[in-house]
Amino acid sequence: MPISPRPGSPAPLNPSARVLLGPGPSEVSPRVLSAMGMPLLGHLDPEFVALMDETQDLLRYAFRTENRLTMAVSGTGSAGMEAVVVNLIEPGDKMLVCVNGVFGGRMVDVALRAGAEVTAIERPYGEVFDPQEVRDAIRKVGPKVVGIVHAETSTGAWQPVEEIARSAHEAGAMIAIDTVTSLGGVPVEIDGWAIDAVYSGTQKCLSCPPGLAPVSFSPRAVESIHARKSKIQSWYLDMTMISRYWGSDRFYHHTAPISMNYALREALALVVEEGLEARWQRHMTNHLALKAGLGAMGISYITTEGHQLPQLNCVRIPEGIDDLTVRKRLLKDWGIEIGGGLGSLKGQAWRIGLMGHGSRRVNVTLFLAALETCLRELSAAIAPGAALAAAAQAYAANDATVQA
């Protein structure tokens, strides 16, 4: 076969600056980006081992847990999903999965590939599950594991899980939850809710580049893993081996992504410096202002009222407005990225992320001004400045509430 000619010398890499207000990745603090440029250490270097220990402690703070088996899996949030499922599920095990969006559906697929006997219950996109319907399904199925998405990235739905966890435990089942979009943005109480296994991602409200998946397993889940009769399906995600690397043994499993671990450590340090409660409040404050501004433009939420994630706003595209036309204009003229709808919401929804470092007033006002300009130019009947005025009122009202 002919050998490909040597390519010309590429120009230095120079990505365009973007305002990342989509469903992820989110904007990253300069401090986190700077951490990624620090000198590499070996993955068994004593300094890196100490950093791993520190990162585990920081993750326990973020997850609100004392679980010893808490770490960052090398891979994105989907690797975290797979790690949880393949470690808890053996071929033939029953798993109940609650599906109200794309990522609940993905959990079904992962469980089937692990050999589970899967029962899926469903709600329309944008809705959440009533605890009673999940309780009834648990009693009917008798699963080993119940899986549910706490924050559905495809719809912006915020699912209460505490009562569902109680129902699972009453039936002798374990519960696993997806917090990819919720960790660091809204309350996640792993010990308080008695969650058996949880996974997340770095690129959402933790404001770290994608590449690691925080996970945590309760003592009960760890006991279940060690009591398996069959080998874990995935060698790479086998917690019985990975835990020896993250634990006191420091037994080599794979070469960790050193720079990504630097970034996660620094991102978690920023979470601790701000404080979880203050961080949750910041996300809610900016969400309420965004929602007010969108409402002034006649834009409504697809997600059920009372269950709308503050960090992921899934809204209905106004009638007569083309999805891609607006998103391309926002990117070209303002450098703003937002997301389109997934699954059944494709072409019908925009997903606007205000996550982590990106959840700032300057981003809310920039986006609202840009979107209003786009829509007015497309003949939408919007009073000039209405969106910014409504957002300003929301900020003032929220400040007064906080001070009171």
- pLDDT tens across 26-44, in order? 999 999 999 999 999 999 8
* DSSP-based three-state secondary structure for 218: coil
How far apart CA 100 and CA 117 sit, in angstroms, is: 19
Q: What is the predicted pLDDT for the residue at 251?
A: 82
> pLDDT per residue over 210-221, tens digit each?
999 999 999 999
How far apart CA 242 and CA 129 sit, in angstroms, is: 34
Find how far residue 303's CA is from the centre of its chain. 17
What is the band of 404 on the pLDDT scale with cuts at 50, 70, 90? Answer: very low
What is the band of 401 on the pLDDT scale with cuts at 50, 70, 90? Answer: low
What CATH code is assigned to 30-273? 3.40.640.10
What is the band of 9 on the pLDDT scale with cuts at 50, 70, 90? Answer: confident
Q: What is the predicted pLDDT for the residue at 382?
A: 84
Q: H-helix or E-strand containing 262?
A: helix 258-274
How far apart CA 68 and CA 83 sit, in angstroms, is: 16
What is the band of 3 on the pLDDT scale with cuts at 50, 70, 90? Answer: confident
Scan for tokens 């009533």, then name that residue: 130
Q: What is the predicted pLDDT for the residue at 174?
A: 98
pTM beyond 0.85: yes
Q: Hey, what's the torsion of the CAs at 99, 133, 156, 302, to 10 degrees?
A: 100
Average pLDDT of the residues in 256-279: 97
| Fold of the 275-403 domain | Aspartate Aminotransferase, domain 1 (3.90.1150)
Domain spans, the chain: 30-273, 275-403
Q: What is the predicted pLDDT for the residue at 381?
A: 79
Q: What is the predicted pLDDT for the residue at 403?
A: 40
Average pLDDT of the residues in 218-233: 96
> pLDDT per residue over 105-124, tens digit each?
999 999 999 999 999 999 99
Q: What is the predicted pLDDT for the residue at 383?
A: 83
Q: What is the predicted pLDDT for the residue at 400?
A: 53
